Chains A and B, each alone.
Chain A
């Protein structure tokens, strides 16, 4: 069997799809819950999604593949940080479905090669980011960066070196 790594995560948010869409595409909102990252993804297919770290370093510059607000957003994913493994770009798909004023948000992250190290990282990262997004939209308070001390130190060291 050649099961390529594929990450799927579903979360339900008490907010309209338009609000969730804004939070996913506007840097001024993403920086409040995405642990300080400014993610700009409100372009058309062919435009670029960019993400900037809290220290102001460019961490993503990937093509937007599909954009159908507020239902479906697809972009490429290739981390630019020097400490990240050099792998081929993967792909992130967001599907937003409305019901009773709430949103079912599905995130599918695929197109990895077998044994991908980035796959392991994003599998830990998305639950934290999407939990924080849900908290932010429902209560106005995002979560603190919640990965381990060790990871936090690794990120800080990489930023200091860059």
Chain B
């Protein structure tokens, strides 16, 4: 159904800004890279957390800021909208290699100026040997390095950028403001026993947090001053009033808690923004926005200070700002995440801690504003539950009809009990939100990346299982097998071989995670992000040191459905029907189906065995059994935060599939 003329339209202000943003060619901004490099060079004597806090604070004080025409919510990530800042501390090799090709990419092209390129060529060499990528790669034990190089397990995304996949504790930020956090830190800092080694480490962390929080306040003050200055020269009285309002909002929230809806929204956006200046990990999410903003909204509406249309316009202005944030990835990473996705997820709906339907008037305004704006950011998720009202569902479906793939649905009936079973406290389980594209976690209380660090390619594992453990692509045997397909008398032996290989590679996955996690912990701790997630301040630890209240992660896998299809084809066509000989199949696989008869075998596999996901137990149960081996094995391991504070610190079964589609 086409959107009709009766659909709500965005205001002229929002329409103009949206069109301007969509027309913009993404560029590359070197300001962050320049300031970080200077601070790192100058503060090499400082503890790393302090250096990183200084670099962040100095960037926030020194980077260009602007307020664009018509903006009601302010704050920029780089010197121009949709310009990607550079994060040299994570990796520089790919930047130098690909710099001249950014503009030639068939998709997700970036257009750096010649000056920017020249500056990056100057900045990057200093970082060589100092980046996360190099240190993390060096930290991989030799066997893991070989497996990683063979691309059976890949963790490149996490060696070239930060973790992301986290939400700050926005309810806390809104109730106490930035100064509330600073006071807490001062309290803890004052009570340290500096004769104790652990407390010495905490002292450094607290010092860093104070620096970062002051930097954040200063950043907001800069917008206050800019808006005030612009207001004094503004001729249009309406815009002048808007600029004065922006200045006042920034003045309040630079230190203290917000007093009304627009201030609350502006503070949420500033925090969301600065977390993406501190680190380039994507999927920094906003948690349950309709819940923590509602008290502000309701108070303003009741007092007659705010009209729904204005609230909607403010939200739309916020979405425009979220869309203006950008990230440049290496080409090898870009290929699998086309469309420059940032996965800034906003969650609405669901249930309250008392298990009542949590939908409120603001839920509907958020839904409508995302629906009318039709931008790829933010990602909107709706928590569905059995008590959700038909009218709310109908509104959600109307937004889906607009054809831009939102909102996504999360099912409370599945997620909440699963979280509780994992060990999450009941109140927290009812407070979960989407983090990133599809992951779920408790916002503001969970460590990074609940879906894990590295990708395991299940089809490569199966090929090794059929080939006595031999990986034909790398020419290596990482885990000796129990035979080749030709040696197996029954399909059960195929499964036995699978079991041995997948257990080995599951362990290898955790070993890769452990190395990458350690490299992230030791080289790129996020100070501000840690401060804003419970209970890092109480524990005096960064997230990677075990600061989060919860820290469960899962593995990531590639080719789950393909694994089911492959096992089903082997069982049916090789073992049950003997239509394909074992040797014949192995030969076809070795030659990528290119030899004589190869196409016939490929067609048989394709067309004559049940495929996963069609309600056919023959293959669905087969995949369940094969996958269960992986899940059971994974649950035996723990991550680097185990025993260091968080509830959990272990692995659980979680998976996600990503298909990137660009128009």
Chains A and B come from one and the same complex:
no
Query: Could you tell me which A residues sit within 8 Å of B by CB distance?
Result: none
Question: Could you tell me which B residues sit within 8 Å of A by CB distance?
Answer: none
